[in-house]
Amino acid sequence: MKEKRFWLRTVILAIMLAAIGYTIYSNVFVEKKAIQVGDSAPDFVLTDLNGNKIQLSDYRGKGVFLNFWGTWCKPCEKEMPYINSQYNVYKNEGVEVIAVNVGEAKVTVQTFVDRFQLTFPVVIDQQDQVMNAYDINPLPTTFLIDKDGKIVDIITGTMTEEDVKKYMERIKP
């Protein structure tokens, strides 16, 4: 019995040490290339609140205002009405908004969208795949993507309505 426990503990310890070793190795030695201005925006497919598939590459030919946000994020809450207001101006000029929620429950996101009467596509990144691909930290973070799919600018922090207008003007095709 004691010998069985010894081997079980040894195996568990070995697994834990391997996991810790891998974590340290991947964080220290594996270089993670952060997305930069001038890079091609990583493509993704996410589902919006109405069940439609939204794929970034489908927006080629248009400017894309790609915003990462959360319902609990006060700066995000502050800028959403500005984004919506300017979207209603610029959507007829070739600028699209995709708002990527960072993995919250659909009902929470839908309540937020309804409260602010948002009219642009809102998707939820349930597995954080898009958030990780874009190396998002902190929220809100917005990527300005031109008609060719290239990143023009990366904005972190709260935007005023004037900022949103200026940024949408920059990505207008």
pTM: 0.81
Which residues fall within 8 angstroms of residue 9, CB to CB, at 6 or more apart? none
In whole numbers, what is the pLDDT of the chain averaged over residues? 91
**For position 153, what pLDDT does the model report?**
97
CA distances from 91 to 29, 94, 115, 150 (A): 43, 6, 21, 19
Q: Is the pLDDT of residue 25 over 70?
A: no
Q: What is the tally of helices (H) and strands (E) in the chain?
A: 5, 7
Q: How far apart are CA 68 and CA 114, in angstroms?
A: 18
From CA 155, how far away is CA 139, in angstroms rounded? 10
The torsion angle over the Cα atoms of residues 137, 158, 165 and 70, rounded to 10 degrees, is 60
pLDDT at 15: 81
CB 82 within 8 A of CB 164: yes
Instruction: Tell me how far apart the terminal alpha carbons of the chain are, to the nearest angstrom.
Output: 73
pLDDT value, residue 7: 80
pLDDT digits (tens, 9 = 90+) for 73-89: 999 999 999 999 999 99
Structure tokens at 68: 């990462």
Helix boundaries (H) for the chain = 2-28, 74-90, 106-116, 129-133, 161-171
- Assign 148 to helix, strand or coil: coil
Helix axis angle, 106-116 to 74-90, nearest 10°: 60
Residues 64-78 have a mean pLDDT of 96
Q: What is the structure's pLDDT at 82?
A: 97
Enumerate the H helices of 29-127 as residue ranges. Answer: 74-90, 106-116
pLDDT digits (tens, 9 = 90+) for 98-152: 999 999 999 999 999 999 999 999 999 999 999 999 999 899 999 999 999 999 9
- Predicted confidence band at 2 (pLDDT cuts at 50, 70, 90)? confident
Does the structure show a pLDDT above 80 at 27? no
Distances (CA, A) of 74 to 71, 79, 87: 8, 9, 20
Tell me: pLDDT of 13 over 60. Answer: yes
What pLDDT score does 22 carry?
A: 67
Topology (CATH level 3) of domain 45-171: Glutaredoxin (3.40.30)
